[in-house]
Structure 1
Amino acid sequence: MKAIVICRDNIGDLILATPLITTLAEELHYQVDVLANSYNAAALEGNYNVSKVYIYSKLHHRLANESVMTLIIQRLKVIWSVRKERYDVIIIGKGQWDKRILQWIRLAKAKKVIALGDKKNPHITDLVTVPKDVTEHLVKRFHRLLSPLCINSLPGKLCLYANPIKVREMRTLYEIDRNPTIFALQISSRKILQRWQAAHFVSLAHRIAAAYSCKLILLWSPGVANNPRHPGDDANALLITSLCQDLPMVPIQTSTLEDLMAAVSLCDYFITSDGGAMHIAAGLGKPIVALFGNSDPEVWAPWKVTHEILQAENHDVGSLDVDTVFAAVQRLKQRTEAQPALDCIDTHRPTARII
């Protein structure tokens, strides 16, 4: 039996679908392939439960030297490859199916199409509805997609692997030893209400360095703030670095998702706002201090790792003070000292075949 899971949204959504993929492969013994996009596909690298990864580029993700026609031709090739496989099951890895995803369903012509939502469609054979008064983690909601296949088990851990070659290269390049303790500060967030001030990160870095024998890693989304496609935080990273020259801080510019995963693998503790980087850290088994703005922690909390969640009453991360965040860092460290987080650096598996 062959199944294809369609995950064409953000990095975090794809990572949160990995327990679903694991169950399909290990409990039902399906060949599991995934349709992803150029933005999130690298999160599947090394996932031994994925046989093939089909990658297409969304038009707003195209590179400067790519034309719209090039991307359309590429997409047609992917559609043809998917159709040739004659999948038994299509699973739509999205909290609610939408019209854009129907093009893939119609062309793939699978016997069974499973989706979450409350609107019926003739192309969806198994519509899984969730009561509107139920609030649950997205991992649990994704796992509901297995009920038409008679699977009712609880979801396991996230499945994410950093490339060990990249990890070793980064460790050497930035002179990062396994000792002392390494705290990562990830400063970027796409949503305004999820952003913490640069000055607060500077103060927090000094508080951590004064309290612990440690090294600090600074991570951010590279690029300029006014980039309409991928706004970045180069300016804030430069400011924070300049104000932390007296600290053992290493700024690591990660230009690819693979680089970010490798950098996160190096740390022992991860401080970040809710977002894709937080789910990467959770997938790599890192203890996390998560700053939540107007997103719901019950839906998006770090999955199955030790964590501290902070959310201001006004749902604005900027309202959280440094004392509150530092206290959460202290609690997290105390909770994990007896049981260190899983280090996934050395558990890399063979890479899935990319199409």
Structure 2
Amino acid sequence: MPSAPSGWPSTSISRSGFPMNFRKILIIRRDNIGDLILTTPLFEAIRQRYPEAYVAALVNSYNAPAIAGNPHLDAIFSYTKGKHAAGEPVWQAYLRRAKLLWQLRRMHFDCIVLPNGGPVPRALKLARLLKPRHIVGFVGDRGRAAAVDLAVHGDGGKLHETEDIFRLLAPLDVAGPIPGLTVVPEPDLAHRLHSRLPEAVASGNGPLVALHISARKEKQRWPVERFAELAKRLHEQYAARFLLFWSPGDENNPFHPGDDAKAARLLTALKDLPIAPVATGQLSELIAGLALADCAVLSDGGAMHVAAGLGKPIVCFFGNSSAERWHPWGVPYELLQKPSRDAGDISVVDAADAFGRLMTRYLQET
């Protein structure tokens, strides 16, 4: 391992018994948008414990906008996965990745943290390529423990994903309480989106409700006809206004199926209500659009965690995913999940009642 630069303190021992000399820290999280957002409390906790340290994150180009502008990071490094290399030869993406890894290796990180819900061989291989002084990660067997010198053992059991990966900060001498999520919208983009809203949607006495109708997994999807009926009830009872979000594209696209047709049907069904579609071809647009809303109604998924990171109260539909592991973190929420573990079995009455409870709780807490 490389030696510490001149003038740096020698290694000390933390309260947890691990060696501690962390002046350059890299967090690697390469997976989905929601997973990365649930990692943002680690950024804040590390910054609070090591205010003078250089703290950076390595992510992929697809999820990088989820942490753009994060105030607790000094730098965000991203690379393009081969499957996301649209409009260019895959080899160019791989070449840029190799150059980035060489750059990171020359930065001589003291510590690399691998915040995944268990051992992830690919992430570990990537960390070892960068030759840090220490690697912090979960281990499940002796072979992995040899590579992860600051190892955290045991599974998270029934912990939330954020609680589970927060256990990885013990070797950095970081303890709770766990901060909330952090998602930062682009101010100029949010302003532009707001300026395009119809007057009936942009202003009013009722809450501005984000409706996100898409979900990647079939059992997480709530029927668009129920979104229509729910919107009518919320408008009648609360004078609610609406922003409509969906995954763009044609439903028959084999690579990136979208819900353009469903969104068009919903807009037709709600033509007499104050509702505006918000195009979200980029993740940054989804973040900026959700930032405009007062609250959100949507299924479990990346958009739900974006909304939580923006501090929005949430009504969420869960199908066959674990509510214990993935519920919204750090915000008021009402979670609906049926014994069938199919979101399609959640009724409009269920959703309307949950919205009422959420509004009552939110008003009481604010």
Tell whether the structures are fold-level matches, with TM greater than 0.5.
yes
1:7 aligns with 2:32: no
**In the alignment, is the contact (CA less than 8 A) between 2:114 and 2:124 conserved in 1?**
no
Residues of 2 paired with 1:307 and 1:247: CA distance?
A: 25
Post-superposition offset of 1:178 = 5.2
Post-superposition offset of 1:275 = 0.6
Cross-structure match for 1:127: 151
Cross-structure match for 1:115: 137
**In the alignment, is the contact (CA less than 8 A) between 2:82 and 2:93 conserved in 1?**
yes
Cross-structure match for 1:330: 356
**In the alignment, is the contact (CA less than 8 A) between 2:139 and 2:148 conserved in 1?**
no
Cross-structure match for 2:15: none
User: Partner amino acid for 2:90?
Assistant: V
User: Partner amino acid for 1:117?
Assistant: V
SS at match of 1:230: coil
Cross-structure match for 2:96: 74
User: Partner amino acid for 2:178?
Assistant: P
Post-superposition offset of 1:152 = 2.2
Alignment of 1:205-354 (within 5 A): 205-340=231-366
Deviations 1:254-309 (A, max 9, x none): 11111101110111110010111001111111000011111111111111101001
RMSD: 1.4
Cross-structure match for 2:11: none
1:188 aligns with 2:202: no
**In the alignment, is the contact (CA less than 8 A) between 1:138 and 1:299 conserved in 2?**
yes
Residues of 2 paired with 1:39 and 1:72: CA distance?
A: 15
Residues of 2 paired with 1:83 and 1:327: CA distance?
A: 53
Post-superposition offset of 1:68 = 1.0
1:154 aligns with 2:177: yes
**In the alignment, is the contact (CA less than 8 A) between 1:118 and 1:127 conserved in 2?**
no
TM-score by length of 2: 0.89
Cross-structure match for 2:19: none
User: Partner amino acid for 1:42?
Assistant: P
CA distance change for structure 1 residues 229 and 55 in 2, over 3 Å: closer, same or farther? farther
Post-superposition offset of 1:131 = 4.4
Residues of 2 paired with 1:62 and 1:226: CA distance?
A: 21
Deviations 1:193-251 (A, max 9, x none): 10011111111111111112221111011112233433211111111111111111111
Cross-structure match for 2:117: 95
SS at match of 1:160: coil
Residues of 2 paired with 1:295 and 1:6: CA distance?
A: 24
User: Partner amino acid for 1:274?
Assistant: D
Residues of 2 paired with 1:131 and 1:72: CA distance?
A: 33
Long gaps (5+) in structure 2: 1-22
SS at match of 1:303: coil
Post-superposition offset of 1:16 = 0.5
**In the alignment, is the contact (CA less than 8 A) between 1:188 and 1:195 conserved in 2?**
yes
**In the alignment, is the contact (CA less than 8 A) between 1:44 and 1:50 conserved in 2?**
no
Among 55, 76, 83, the residue aligned to 1:32: 55
**In the alignment, is the contact (CA less than 8 A) between 1:224 and 1:233 conserved in 2?**
yes
Q: Sequence identity of aligned pairs in percent?
A: 37
1:49 aligns with 2:72: yes
User: Partner amino acid for 2:108?
Assistant: R
Number of equivalences: 338
SS at match of 1:76: helix
Q: Greater Rg, structure 1 or structure 2?
A: 2
User: Partner amino acid for 1:104?
Assistant: L
User: Partner amino acid for 2:102?
Assistant: W
Cross-structure match for 2:202: 177
SS at match of 1:183: strand
Deviations 1:294-352 (A, max 9, x none): 11111111111010010011000001111111110111111112444xxxxxxxxxxxx
Deviations 1:39-81 (A, max 9, x none): 1101111111111111111111221x12111111111111111
User: Partner amino acid for 1:335?
Assistant: R
Long gaps (5+) in structure 1: 341-355
Residues of 2 paired with 1:131 and 1:81: CA distance?
A: 33
**In the alignment, is the contact (CA less than 8 A) between 1:60 and 1:229 conserved in 2?**
no
Specify which structure has the bigger relative contact order, considering alpha-carbon pairs within 8 angstroms and separated by 6 or more residues: 1
Residues of 1 paired with 2:218 and 2:305: CA distance?
A: 19
